Structure 1
């Protein structure tokens, strides 16, 4: 049987429980302030074009639409676009040591969302009006898998807003400025981020399986740098 958000056999996996447990901490941090990966601005023209071409096809078009619906542009604060939430998520999937099952859940959710949207409206999610998008997201949020998927994307929005710009989001500290937050010092630069530290960088050699959770960890390496390097060698 084809899986959907409404699969009665779905159970929240442990890795997602661990990630969701950080949501309250992130919400508290944001609330108290308001009441690799290379920053996008430092990418070369070729790198930007390469990324833009990826983000302009599925599943990234749908993910971008969802993120921007969850944190839309307004005159009250910053938006998902302002904090580059989609680019942050791209970095999470392509360049950080992210668990394979987490990446698969992100992608599967896009398929399930569009499947439900087309069943309900005959249109994919990105073609819906704002009102229709709200209805569809509220519908899937009533399922365990749908609620988990939306919550995971909201966490990534918080992370894009609060993390140092070197992780892909929060350009020029726009999230911190909005929250009137003073970031710690020194801030990590490319080459000094948590997944590039010596103990972490060992997983760039080959896939590593976490013995406690049986999760396969995606290697931490710069896919764009590798791709560009191959192009330079071929030209030589």
Structure 2
């Protein structure tokens, strides 16, 4: 009788290898962000319950809108973002990752001078591991899976240290995109603020005074 290999065996090996390769800087950064993520999550849970009914999809874009890189591995990253933070329609409508330009914001932030290059490398490498698990578990790369299989794959990788940190990092950037000033590339048309019924502080930053430009200016003085 022919014996078939258990796909879970290969998946365990993949995740163990991913865990072994996770940079220490990523683990440290994620620990530092933990309290911040908890704050974001609690804020969205508390405020979002009141605000969801008032959100409607806005057509068009703002001047701050950025054009994302729409090729792999970013198409897969975008699909993961949409699964983690999907648009909800109906009575309790809420924006999804695409509505708040989560991908554009992520790409913009990874190109800022104060972000460790390990973050971008970790996100890109994570797509490879994700697709390896998806192929073993469901026979196709993540982007070609249905909703149920995507959920299975994400749950599988979340059981590993590296997968948990990878998903956590993506969620962190999603919440930042939801709450950021649109000048930074996320929160298109103030969609996140409108959903949460948030009034931004004044003055808002102009394009030539983004926070990393101010830091550069201060160092030059």
TM range (shorter): 0.7 to 0.9
The question of whether the paired residues in 1 share the 8 Å contact of 2:62 and 2:189 is answered with no
Q: Which residue of 1 aligns with 2:158?
A: 141
The Cα of 1:66 is off from its aligned counterpart by: 0.2
The Cα of 1:144 is off from its aligned counterpart by: 1.1
> Which sections of structure 1, spanning at least 5 residues, go unmatched?
204-236
Distance 1:140 1:78 in 2: 26
The question of whether the paired residues in 1 share the 8 Å contact of 2:157 and 2:164 is answered with yes
Distance 1:135 1:117 in 2: 9
More helix by share: 2
2:10 paired with 1:6? no
Q: Which residue of 1 aligns with 2:119?
A: 102
Tell me the C-alpha RMSD between the 2 structures. 2.4
Q: Which residue of 2 aligns with 1:42?
A: 63
Which one of the candidate residues 159, 162, 183 is aligned to 2:200? 183
Q: Which residue of 2 aligns with 1:59?
A: 73
Q: Which residue of 2 aligns with 1:167?
A: 184
Distance 2:82 2:125 in 1: 19
Distance 1:99 1:128 in 2: 31
State how 1:1-236 maps to structure 2 within 5 Å: 4-7=14-17, 9=20, 13-35=27-49, 41-42=62-63, 51-52=67-68, 54-55=69-70, 57-75=71-89, 76-95=93-112, 97-199=114-216
Distance 1:31 1:96 in 2: 32
Give the count of matched residue pairs. 190
Length-normalised TM-score, structure 1: 0.73
Length-normalised TM-score, structure 2: 0.77
Per-residue displacement from partner, 1:26-67 (whole Å, max 9, x unpaired)?
1133233324xxxx63269xxx6xx45x32x11101000000
Distance 1:199 1:138 in 2: 41
Distance 2:217 2:74 in 1: 28
